[in-house]
Structure 1
Amino acid sequence: MKSRILAVTAVSAVALATITGCSSGAAGSDGDTITFMFRGNDAEKAAYTAAIEQFEKDHDVDVKIIMTTADEYSTKLKAAITGKQIPDVFYIDPGSVQAYVKSGIVKDITDKVEESVDLDNIWEYGVDSYRFDGKLMGQGAIYAMPKDIGPFSFGYNKTMFDAAGIPLPDPETPYTWAEFVDVAKKLTLDTNADGTLDQWGTGLNVQWNLQPFVWSNGGDWLNEDRTKVTVDTPEFAEALQFFADMSNVEKVTPSTSDAQTLDTYQRWMQGQIGFFPVGPWDVPTYEKLDFEWDLIPYPVGATGETATWTGTLGIAVAETTKNADIATELAIYLSTDPTAQQSLVDAGVQVPNLKDMADEWVASATLPPANKQEFLDIANEYGRALPANTTYSAEWYDELFKNIQPVLDGEQSAEDYLAEVQPRMQQLLDKANADAGIG
């Protein structure tokens, strides 16, 4: 999934030398030069280059762009921090905010943001993902501006529905779990009558797709103050069991051997999967698919309300920057300037950060998906942060997935596994909270 969220590109040796070549302080800070470090692909680099050229003209400043691949970014940034060569402006994920605040890595930019930005026109989720009051994420001072938000929606193959004579899903009324399985069964077929299935209702990755089912069923990973792991509840167990049963009982997903031959992402791309997740980062690629597709809400569990997560990256300012004002201006500009945002939207890499621009994006778009409004509904109404993004570290969260395969293979019940894994997760959460100074 990570490799699909941001495609990889070659690291520029010259750009990295900008970080490693300075002897102290923020990289490249010489009075009229600041550095911006990010991860991305060629389209994103081109969009940022165009936007930053305008910023340089407007502010009489030289911005050195440092780009890495998605896979290398964290390692390169940590190396820069360790070597005290921190770029002036850089990408940050919500899960790193607490540690970077505690370590004095990122600057509190609240005052500048509040005096220069119309926060009512920025996705609240995006800004709140970088707020921290010293105890809990989501409130308090602002330590980064959102680079983007990524509503993780649900797609379906319209061409497959038409071929099967199944009515298209209602974009306003989600399927129940039972309805979803019923349709998925009708889409799971041996289309060439050779005795082997070659089309399936769905094919989901547990690490990225379990959350909508758990939340919609009334379960969650943590209690409200984020001190207790709550995966050992009936609501959570029912959701995980349903997820596993789609493969082992209902048989509406590719088998383990089928998935090894060709993963479900590639099968979706080839038109062999009926339902599959879609993020904004997928849209440029999916526009080239050989079948029609669109977006719908995720199926609903016991609560009767759909749910999913929203991703985000932030743009932070280094506490050590020698050009705090202009560095903060750049972070705000890249996040909120209409021209800069248009460059990124035109590159097909994100939903607009500005609400009024996003509304226009939905109204004027001619390329798929037709129901782009679903992205905005997630952003506006029901998208949530991934659980690990609100805690000091992600170890406790990752623990859930380390030994989950027997459940997915039907060899262990969800209830038994969750009772077994909860104490280990709790121990790791306690450590994270202790490291954060939260008692």
Structure 2
Amino acid sequence: MRKTLPIAALGVTATLVLSACGGSTGGSGGGTTISFAHWGNNQEADTLEAMVAAFEDEHPDIDVEMNWIQSDYEQKLQVSIAGGQAPTVAQISNSSLAGFSSAFQEVDVDPGAYYSENIPSSMKVDGSYLAVPFVVKTKVMAVNGNVFDEAGVPLPSADTPMTTGEYADLARRLTSGEPPDKVYGSAPLWYVGWLTVEGGAFYDVTGTECAIDNDVAAETADYIIDAQAPDGFAPTPLEAEGQDMFDWLSIGRLAMQPDFGPWDIAKLADLDDPKLALVPVPGDGEPMEINGLGISTDATPEETAAATTFAAFMSTSPTAQNRLTTAESSLGVPVVEASTEAFTAVEPDLNLQAFVDAVDQSRILPSVRQEAQIRSDFESALLSRTAIGSGDEDPAEVLPELNEQCQETLDG
């Protein structure tokens, strides 16, 4: 049976456990030491370090040893778990949570502590909370108003998503010229992301059935093929290969980038161009990632109590949540409402509220244990067999076959 500790009143629980034990696990503060595994670039690691320092200031009896895994994070995390060296606390994406279900303790999460039900529900596997929500990584759309001005087209609404039909019409009006100097109305459209924009899904809500054998899935593929046709409004994968779409947006080669994440907020702010703006993604929005903090099943009772206190602080304390985004770096959007104002105030001239609004607009993809293999096989086949990539087969014929292969892997 998994150990379960409530997120509410965690400080009291930790104090009782530590007092009863009366021992030390070797931390410099003479209390309990826990380890925390995470990923991220230099700026993101600095942000996490500042958050951990704030935690240790408030909890001098708990020392947190940071384990920054800079590449192949999940693979190395799995190796450490298998080798009996699991970190006490590990950052984990909601989409990968199922693959680590045996490694993390069950935790109690109060859904009322978060401003959207999407946030806590992302940390559930088979009906149980296996991690504490920590940060949301929604997608919005970045637009270059200079391209809109040149085309004589008004900017999209700052708070109301357009339909995908309106998006295609707008993108065509914003497209001009010929390669290699062609100005594109849209960045390349990622199939799985645009499928959710269109109201479809790769899996059913339970993550037990593949869902790409239907009209929406085929129509989404046709939409993308039309977008990147020679007379279309988006570059092909070959044209976009090795190119930074944000760079294209910044110099006016691109009018709209509908896959814009919070990690690029600082880059956008540095450009200091009032014509660059943020608006909602069309339709039902791009799928969003939510990161949580999982507590190892190998943790001792003392470590479990300390880790639970740490996870609660990172998840619900404004002291931590207010630090998620700065002018230099962004881990993502806060998960508690009290910190959303601090998030939007980081760059008041940008519409950062669009990221917050997207938490309710966007869909959470279910966590599937075989996700990496399924997605790799699917994307490779889709690109090689249809005109989304280098093929010429009809998506309406290819997708049912890929759905069947997906289901076989899922069932296996």
TM-score, normalised via structure 2 length: 0.82
> Contact 1:293/1:368 (CA < 8 Å) preserved in 2?
no
Letter matched to residue 307 of structure 2: A
The aligned runs of 1:351-370 (5 Å cut-off) are 351-359=333-341, 361-362=343-344, 364-370=345-351
The aligned runs of 1:34-433 (5 Å cut-off) are 34-59=34-59, 60-69=61-70, 71-101=71-101, 103=102, 105-110=103-108, 113-114=109-110, 119-132=112-125, 136=126, 140-190=127-177, 196-206=180-190, 210-248=191-229, 250-255=231-236, 257-260=238-241, 262-276=243-257, 277-289=259-271, 291=273, 292-300=275-283, 306-322=284-300, 323-346=303-326, 347-359=329-341, 361-362=343-344, 364-370=345-351, 372-379=352-359, 381-386=360-365, 389-394=366-371, 395-405=373-383, 406-409=386-389, 411-431=392-412
Residue 290 of structure 1 deviates from its aligned partner by: 6.2
Structure 1 match to 2:20: none
Q: Deviations over 1:320-345 (max 9, x none)?
A: 11211011111111122111122222
Letter matched to residue 374 of structure 2: W
Residue 318 of structure 1 deviates from its aligned partner by: 0.9
CA 211–99 in structure 1, closer or farther in 2 if over 3 Å, else same: closer
> Contact 2:131/2:293 (CA < 8 Å) preserved in 1?
yes
Residue 401 of structure 1 deviates from its aligned partner by: 0.7
What is the RMSD computed on CA atoms of the aligned residues?
Answer: 2.7
CA 317–401 in structure 1, closer or farther in 2 if over 3 Å, else same: same
Letter matched to residue 375 of structure 1: F
How many residue pairs get aligned? The number is: 376
Residue 348 of structure 1 deviates from its aligned partner by: 2.7
State the percentage of identical aligned residues.
Answer: 25
Structure 2 match to 1:303: none
Residue 249 of structure 1 deviates from its aligned partner by: 5.8
**Cα distance in 1, alignment partners of residues 218 and 308 from structure 2:** 45
Letter matched to residue 187 of structure 1: L
Aligned to 1:147, the other structure's residue is in SS state strand
Q: Deviations over 1:135-160 (max 9, x none)?
A: x3xxx332211221111112211121
Residue 313 of structure 1 deviates from its aligned partner by: 1.4
Q: Deviations over 1:36-66 (max 9, x none)?
A: 1111222222222233223224332221111
Letter matched to residue 181 of structure 1: A
**Structure 2: which 5+ residue stretches go unaligned?**
1-24
Aligned to 1:390, the other structure's residue is in SS state coil
> Contact 1:155/1:278 (CA < 8 Å) preserved in 2?
yes
Residue 81 of structure 1 deviates from its aligned partner by: 0.8
**Cα distance in 2, alignment partners of residues 255 and 125 from structure 1:** 33
Residue 162 of structure 1 deviates from its aligned partner by: 1.5
CA 419–54 in structure 1, closer or farther in 2 if over 3 Å, else same: closer
CA 42–368 in structure 1, closer or farther in 2 if over 3 Å, else same: farther
Q: Deviations over 1:98-148 (max 9, x none)?
A: 3433x3x111121xx44xxx833354322221122xxx3xxx332211221
Aligned to 2:171, the other structure's residue is in SS state helix
Structure 2 match to 1:19: none
Residue 92 of structure 1 deviates from its aligned partner by: 1.6
Residue 246 of structure 1 deviates from its aligned partner by: 0.3
CA 107–177 in structure 1, closer or farther in 2 if over 3 Å, else same: closer
Residue 256 of structure 1 deviates from its aligned partner by: 5.0
**Cα distance in 2, alignment partners of residues 174 and 421 from structure 1:** 31
Aligned to 2:202, the other structure's residue is in SS state coil
**Cα distance in 2, alignment partners of residues 422 and 195 from structure 1:** 35
CA 256–99 in structure 1, closer or farther in 2 if over 3 Å, else same: closer
Aligned to 2:330, the other structure's residue is in SS state coil
**Cα distance in 1, alignment partners of residues 44 and 367 from structure 2:** 27
TM-score, normalised via structure 1 length: 0.77
Residue 195 of structure 1 deviates from its aligned partner by: 7.7
**Structure 1: which 5+ residue stretches go unaligned?**
1-25, 301-305, 432-439
Residue 296 of structure 1 deviates from its aligned partner by: 2.4
Q: Deviations over 1:78-97 (max 9, x none)?
A: 22112101111111222333
Letter matched to residue 163 of structure 1: E
> Contact 1:38/1:68 (CA < 8 Å) preserved in 2?
yes
CA 148–195 in structure 1, closer or farther in 2 if over 3 Å, else same: closer
**Cα distance in 2, alignment partners of residues 93 and 260 from structure 1:** 26
CA 311–401 in structure 1, closer or farther in 2 if over 3 Å, else same: same
